[in-house]
Chains A and B, each alone.
Chain A
Amino acid sequence: MQLTNRSKNVVNKKMSFAERIYLVAIAKGMWITLKHFFRKNNTYNYPDTQRTYAPVYRGWHVLKRDANGAERCTACGLCAVACPAEAITMTAAERERGEEKLYREEKYAAVYEINMLRCIFCGLCEEACPKEAIFLTDRIVPSDYVRQGFIFGKDMLVEGVEPEKRVDVSVRQKHIQEKKQAAAAAQ
């Protein structure tokens, strides 16, 4: 059964002399090439020029700190269980006395790793997070030469304490809240 008319039957008939010298075919092909010189460019010269992203773009994850600079993540494991690609692993540890400024809750993630090669950037981890700790940002995951370089530990994920090193996720946060409210209203 023919679903489209794009397929063409192959005929093995002998070519005529005009066809055999290929002059017409070459001219046709060159005309197509010439047309493309005057077309608008479809590509960007990254990184000199960058395209604009959607404000809710899902890229490189960030582990947020709270207003006092303490890590929000408590290693509850809900992001890992929600992850369809099983990209997230973590090891929890108990907060010692005197570390209250570093970690918000009594448990924290001593190791938190996301395998960026596995990650499909679906955003289910940030929806699962009960502590508003993990967010996907509009930053692009940097390239690397070895696979090991794509396993991002806490050094690549946790944002800095200083105000200028904080990662702004307010747009994404609002988007997730609206999504959750819409889901709750639908129920």
Chain B
Amino acid sequence: MPKVKIDGFEVEVPDGTTILNAARMIGGDIVPPAMCYYSTLKGSGGKCRTCLVKVTKGSEKDPRPMPKLVASCQTMVMDGMEVANITSDEVINARKGVVEFLLINHPLDCPICDQAGECHLQDLAFDHGAASTRYEFERRTFERIDIGPYIKLHMTRCILCYRCVFTAQQLTPERVHGVVGRGDHAEISTFIEKAIDNDFSGNVIDVCPVGALTDRTFRFKSRVWFLNPMEAHRDCEKCSGKAVVWMYGKEIFRVTARKDQYGEVHEFICNTCRFEKKAPGDWVVEGPRNIERNSVISQNHYLAATTVR
């Protein structure tokens, strides 16, 4: 069992744990942000570079520091390793640079985007980004695409984290959804814009850290901070049936899977639950969901349950 020290906090973790997961075991501010790593998706991570950390001591046997910043979601811990995340100015500066790169082609149309208020890129830019951009050129734009009757793809907002591709690969039997092109030309696409008709395709909306994949049945219906997220369940033969219903009064505006504090879904829900069951009688509401106190979702209307779960 290797012991690792992250920002001065020591933790003992099983073999083969990544630095990011070791940091999550400690919890708190020292957890590096992650835009592409998703614990429930195999092979995810290593693409966005927001989780970069500095390894100040390689291990007990070889105490030399690692020469460059490493992606904490991909680097395994070693015994005696010492890692600096928020205590290192180098990491903070590098992360600021990464945010600037992620925002180069991002349209910043948050007032329009349905993801606003629960967007990881928004949080990341708020925490680490600069208030203005240095980019002077025309931003990369795409036409909006309807992927099937339920999902809308705004390629312009995409940061190419590949999470949706892994979701499509791992939750659906045949691959219909992938990344086409390379480098600056890379884009998420279904082959020949073929509609995804699979029972679990709706989960690409939940795994998307930005507003690139959004729910067409919820499109422009409301803003997340006007709705009350409630934990609810129903009997479903295809999935666990455990979900979050976003309510305005007695009306259900949308249904999402339950996300943990890192925005990750552990029990994916099916399309029937997500898109078709929106009558109040369809769900057994358990109670209000815990929302972080400083989240915009808890603004003005959400007095109870304001602690981090």
Contacts and interface: CB of A to CB of B under 8 A. Distances in A.
Interface of A: 74-78, 80-81, 86, 92-94, 105-107, 130-131, 184
A94 B111 CA distance: 13
User: Which of B110, B111, B131, B296 is the most central at the interface, judged by chain A CB atoms within 10 Å of its CB?
Assistant: B111
Contacts of B221: 92
Nearest to A187: B131
Contacts of B299: 81
A131 to B, nearest CB: 6
Contacts, number: 38
Chain B residues touching A, range: 10 to 19
Interface string B213-242: 000000111110110000000000000000
A105 B112 contact: yes
B300 interface: yes
Given A93-B220, A94-B220, A107-B220, A77 B112 contact: no
B136 interface: no
Name the 10 nearest CB pairs between A and B, nearest first.
A76-B111, A77-B223, A92-B220, A107-B112, A74-B111, A130-B111, A81-B299, A107-B220, A81-B225, A94-B220
Contacts of B225: 77, 81
B184 interface: no
B174 interface: no
Given A92-B220, A130-B111, 12 more contacts: A76-B110, A76-B112, A77-B222, A80-B226, A81-B226, A81-B299, A81-B300, A86-B300, A94-B220, A105-B112, A107-B220, A184-B131
16 contacts: A74-B112, A75-B220, A76-B112, A76-B116, A76-B223, A77-B222, A77-B225, A78-B111, A81-B296, A81-B299, A81-B300, A92-B221, A92-B222, A105-B109, A106-B112, A184-B131
Contacts of A184: 131
Contacts of A74: 111-112
Contact of A130 (B110, B219, B223): B110
A111 B47 CA distance: 42
A36 to B, nearest CB: 48
Nearest to B131: A184
Contacts of A131: 111
A86 B301 CA distance: 10
Contacts of B226: 77, 80-81
A132 B19 CA distance: 44
A78 B226 CA distance: 10
Interface in B251-278: none
A77 B112 CA distance: 10
A100 to B, nearest CB: 14
A184 B226 CA distance: 28
A77 B226 CA distance: 8
B139 to A, nearest CB: 15
B87 to A, nearest CB: 23
A74 to B, nearest CB: 5
Nearest to A110: B220
A144 to B, nearest CB: 27
A186 to B, nearest CB: 14
Nearest to A94: B220
Interface in B101-131: 109-112, 116, 131
A105 B110 CA distance: 12
A94 B154 CA distance: 15
Contacts of A78: 111
A163 to B, nearest CB: 27
B244 to A, nearest CB: 20
B126 to A, nearest CB: 13
A93 to B, nearest CB: 7
A107 B223 CA distance: 12
A105 B111 contact: yes
B219 A94 contact: yes
Contacts of A76: 110-112, 116, 223
Interface in B75-118: 109-112, 116
A77 B299 CA distance: 12
B199 to A, nearest CB: 27
Contacts of B131: 184
A122 to B, nearest CB: 15
A170 to B, nearest CB: 23
Nearest to A107: B112
